[in-house]
């Protein structure tokens, strides 16, 4: 079974601008507001999260409900488009889910060599490159992504951020 294998690197805004300029012809730009929910009984340490993503690209708005759970060394992720985000929130609240975090980002995205590449600028966190590939061998997948980042953009392994945006935002909000 294929797994979602991803790594992310912290980069400077200068590096982001350089990468975006070099890849501009292949990039799509979008704005995203991600609201994360967890069950009220698990707010201290949720074993899964729900996310409602409000996304806008070229004036077109979409809402996507996502279930995310970390399973060993990769993510289980299921998505569905929803057309009524307000009632979706209400249904989830009736099922015992509470909002606990919102992340706003501007994203440039593309696909190259079967790799999804996201260049993100996140409010209160800064700039990142997130790379994702599907495969069965997580170790080999991460090795490939690291080599690609180094070869294409001279991004070093030391710049890898092991935590997801949710964990980084929670840490940032505790400051």
Residue of 5, 12, 46 whose CA lies nearest to 170: 46
Residue 73: phi and psi, rounded to 5, are: -115, 15
d(CA 34, CA 53): 4
Residue of 165, 144, 128 whose CA lies nearest to 20: 128
pTM above 0.95, yes or no: no
Question: For the chain, what is the domain count?
Answer: 1
Task: Provide the residue-wise pLDDT of the chain in tens; the chain has 175 residues.
Answer: 677 889 999 999 999 999 999 888 889 999 999 999 988 888 777 778 899 999 999 889 999 999 988 777 667 788 999 998 889 999 999 999 999 899 999 999 999 878 999 999 999 999 999 999 988 888 899 999 999 999 999 998 899 998 888 889 888 887 6
Q: Which two tokens stand for residue 48?
A: 């899964």
């Amino acid at each position: 079974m294929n797994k979602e294998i991803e790594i992310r690197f912290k980069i400077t805004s200068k590096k982001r601008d350089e990468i975006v300029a070099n890849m501009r012809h292949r990039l799509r730009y979008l704005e995203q507001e991600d609201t994360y929910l967890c069950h009220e009984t698990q707010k201290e340490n949720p074993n899964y999260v729900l996310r409602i993503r409000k996304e806008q690209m070229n004036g077109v708005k979409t809402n996507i409900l996502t279930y995310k759970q970390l399973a060993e060394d990769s993510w289980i992720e299921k998505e569905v488009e929803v057309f009524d985000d307000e009632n979706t929130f209400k249904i989830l609240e009736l099922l015992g889910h509470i909002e606990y975090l919102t992340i706003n980002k501007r994203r440039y995205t593309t696909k190259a060599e079967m790799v999804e590449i996201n260049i993100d600028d996140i409010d209160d966190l800064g700039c990142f490159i997130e790379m994702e590939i599907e495969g069965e061998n997580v170790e080999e997948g991460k090795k490939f992504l690291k080599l690609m980042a180094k070869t294409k953009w001279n991004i070093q392994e030391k710049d890898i951020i092991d935590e997801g945006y949710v964990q980084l935002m929670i840490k940032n909000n505790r400051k």
